[in-house]
């Protein structure tokens, strides 16, 4: 059975005394990790939770987050990871939409949960004054053997909330099978083995890190988890040097720091052999600097999404193909379709659809969105546009419609615009992505006020501060006379962005 719990069980049998996870000065062997996940699984069930009940996870990177993921899988429960940068309103929406039965959170987030959770049962890791809510104490006395809950391969393991282009976030339901398959695909494609040491850098509420940890533990590798609450490139370099990391996933903005570090002799250039990147196109100059600086590295671009898994990949070479996201991964199929869902010829731009074992099952409680995203024969789109070459290489020409990527975080303009439009003086709003050398992009916003009305920018900034995670907040908000409208009287963001760039002489 391809379930996440069995994947961990198998590695614990093969490598019981080997380090499985390292987080700062803490370490878990495979035996310890498996036993702790079992105890936590029993603790979940002891709270009266039933198979496929949802448990929200509001936890920072660390051993507790990894243990919770696997414990939920072993108990037949469904994890709902929540972004730590969300505001209370964003957390409330996901918790209510997912019909969560329990929240597991870090004790330092108790003030935030007091605002967001209401009467929802909340338990805390890291020690808590109230023993009835101290998850570490509750789990400690539980059995360390497997539960008697039957978990099927197609049972859901997680619901990952991904912002929707039409407003509210949607929950992508992902099965045990689809997540283990992603791990096996990448292990096969990248050649990762139990001898490797991985480094999970991105926040573990993201699917990238969730899949990365699953991959590492399924194959018996050692996985180092980034141990700092705040991100700093020098900390990344220090951890890579300390643990002789051999593979990791990086966002393009971090790769610039790595290229600088290796050229300045500040990082061990010999141990790293697999670098993965995603979330934004890789600049060819940066690509070549990395490949020349790290002589043993194979550099891969991986294309996917919360709904898709790892779908295509390309191994970069110095002076090689620019702009492509490569060939389909093992077991994946790619089609490019027109507006009538008919295949287009090679070189013709259309909407990218994918089919394979790593796809989500559905959008949680959203059959309309599920129907709109899947074809009748099982191909799924997330709205990306692209084309295939005659050789089957995929090129993307636009991201999900109008999406902004800020340091690897997806920001959908509609979510920002809806906050701005909630002000009674605002008639129209547009949120656009502006190039930024450190973050890739930043959010800028423009508003048109209602006739006879006015609004202070400070008011709109405060509105955004209360309702949006920090990476979603516009770095600048401007009141303008008008915004470009399309034939259906909707704002054309592409033109609005062009106007912003022209006004501010941004190239």
- The helix (H) or strand (E) run that includes residue 216 is helix 207-219
Residues 288, 272: Cα–Cα separation, whole Å: 16
Residues 20, 8: Cα–Cα separation, whole Å: 10
Q: Give the pLDDT confidence of 112-167 residue by residue, as tens digits.
A: 888 776 678 999 999 999 999 999 999 999 999 999 999 999 999 999 998 644 45
CATH number at residue 422: 3.30.300.30
Q: Give the pLDDT confidence of 249-279 residue by residue, as tens digits.
A: 998 778 888 999 999 999 999 999 999 998 6
Predicted model pTM: 0.85
Residues 12, 23: Cα–Cα separation, whole Å: 19
- The helix (H) or strand (E) run that includes residue 350 is strand 350-355
> Of 211, 231, 251, which residue sits at a domain end?
231
Q: Is there a domain that residue 85 lies in?
A: yes
Q: Categorize the per-residue pLDDT at 401 as very low, low, confident or very high, splitting at 50, 70 and 90.
A: low
> Of 194, 214, 231, which residue sits at a domain end?
231
Residue 488 pLDDT > 60, yes or no? Answer: no
Q: Is there a domain that residue 357 lies in?
A: no
Q: Is there a domain that residue 327 lies in?
A: no
Closest to 324 measured CA to CA, from 270, 394, 375: 394
Of 17-26, 113-122, 367-376, which gets the smallest average pLDDT? 113-122
E-strand ranges in 107-204 read 122-125, 156-164, 167-175, 197-200
Closest to 504 measured CA to CA, from 448, 454, 436, 458: 436
Q: Is there a domain that residue 374 lies in?
A: no
Q: Is there a domain that residue 326 lies in?
A: no
Q: Are strands 54-58 and 404-406 parallel, antiparallel or unpaired?
A: unpaired
Residue 218 pLDDT > 80, yes or no? Answer: yes
Helix spans in 117-175 (H): 135-140
> Of 231, 248, 274, which residue sits at a domain end?
231
**Domain count along the chain:** 2
Q: Is there a domain that residue 373 lies in?
A: no
Q: Is there a domain that residue 386 lies in?
A: no
Q: Is there a domain that residue 361 lies in?
A: no
CATH number at residue 34: 3.40.50.12780
Instruction: Give residue 412's pLDDT.
Output: 79
Residue-range definition of the domain harbouring residue 464: 404-503
CB 122 within 8 A of CB 103: yes
Token pair for residue 268? 């061990």
List, edge to edge, every strand of the sheet that includes 78-81. 122-125, 102-106, 54-58, 78-81, 156-164, 167-175, 362-363
Instruction: Give residue 19's pLDDT.
Output: 98
Burial of 315 (0-12, 13-18, 19+ CB in 10 A): middle
């Amino acid at each position: 059975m391809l379930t996440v719990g069995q994947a961990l069980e198998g590695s614990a049998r093969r490598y019981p005394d080997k380090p499985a996870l390292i987080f700062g000065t803490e370490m878990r062997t495979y035996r310890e990790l498996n036993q702790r996940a079992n105890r936590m699984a029993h603790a979940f069930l002891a709270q009266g939770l039933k198979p496929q009940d949802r448990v929200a996870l509001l936890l920072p990177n660390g051993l507790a987050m990894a243990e919770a993921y696997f414990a939920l899988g072993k108990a037949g429960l469904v994890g709902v990871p929540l972004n730590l940068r969300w505001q209370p309103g964003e957390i409330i929406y996901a918790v209510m939409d997912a019909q969560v039965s329990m929240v597991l959170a870090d004790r330092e987030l108790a003030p935030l949960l007091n605002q967001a959770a209401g009467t929802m049962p909340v338990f805390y890791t890291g020690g808590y004054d109230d023993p009835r809510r101290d998850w570490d104490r509750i789990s400690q006395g539980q059995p360390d053997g497997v539960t008697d809950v039957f978990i099927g391969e197609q049972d859901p393991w997680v619901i990952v909330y991904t912002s929707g282009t039409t407003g509210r976030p949607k929950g992508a339901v992902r099965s045990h099978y689809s997540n283990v398959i992603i791990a096996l695909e990448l292990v096969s494609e990248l050649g990762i083995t139990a001898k490797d040491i991985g480094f999970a850098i991105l926040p573990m509420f993201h699917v990238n890190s969730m899949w990365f940890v699953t991959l590492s533990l399924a194959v018996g590798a050692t996985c180092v988890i980034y141990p700092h609450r705040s991100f700093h490139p020098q900390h990344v370099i220090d951890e890579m040097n300390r643990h002789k990391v051999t593979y990791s996933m990086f966002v393009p903005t971090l790769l610039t720091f790595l290229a600088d570090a290796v050229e300045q002799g500040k990082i061990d250039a010999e141990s790293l052999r697999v670098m993965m990147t995603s979330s934004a196109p890789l600049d060819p100059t940066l690509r070549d600097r990395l490949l020349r600086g790290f002589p043993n590295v194979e550099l891969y671009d991986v294309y996917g999404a919360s709904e898709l898994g790892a779908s295509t990949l390309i191994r970069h070479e110095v002076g090689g193909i620019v702009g492509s996201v490569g060939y389909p991964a093992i077991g994946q199929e790619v089609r490019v379709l027109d507006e009538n869902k008919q295949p287009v010829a090679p070189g013709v731009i259309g909407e990218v659809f994918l089919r394979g074992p790593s796809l989500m099952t559905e959008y949680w409680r959203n059959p309309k969105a599920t129907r709109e995203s899947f074809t009748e024969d099982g191909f799924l789109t997330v709205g990306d546009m692209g084309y295939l070459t005659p050789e089957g290489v995929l090129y993307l020409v636009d991201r999900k419609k109008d999406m902004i990527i800020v340091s690897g975080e997806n920001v959908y303009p509609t979510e920002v615009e809806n906050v701005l439009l909630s002000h009674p003086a605002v008639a129209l709003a547009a949120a656009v992505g502006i190039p930024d050398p450190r973050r890739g992009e930043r959010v800028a916003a423009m508003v048109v006020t209602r006739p006879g009305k006015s609004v202070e920018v400070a008011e709109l900034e405060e509105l955004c501060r209360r309702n949006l995670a920090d990476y979603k907040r516009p770095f600048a908000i401007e009141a303008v006379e008008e915004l470009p409208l399309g034939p259906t009287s909707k704002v054309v963001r592409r033109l609005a962005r062009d106007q912003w760039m022209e006004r501010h002489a941004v190239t």
